[in-house]
Amino acid sequence: MNKDQVKGRVQETKGKIKEVAGKILDDEDMELEGTVQKNVGKVQSGFGDLKEDIKKVAED
User: Residue 51's closest CA among 13, 8, 20, 16?
Assistant: 8
Neighbour count for residue 44 (Cβ, 10 Å):
20
User: Residue 38's closest CA among 28, 30, 50, 27?
Assistant: 30
Q: What are 6-40's pLDDT values in tens digits?
A: 999 999 999 999 999 999 999 999 999 999 999 99
Would you give the DSSP letter of residue 48? H
pTM score: 0.87
Give the per-residue pLDDT at 60. Answer: 80
Give the per-residue pLDDT at 36. Answer: 98
Please give the Cα distance from 7 to 37 (Å, whole number): 12
Kindly list the domain boundaries of the chain, sorted by start residue: 3-59
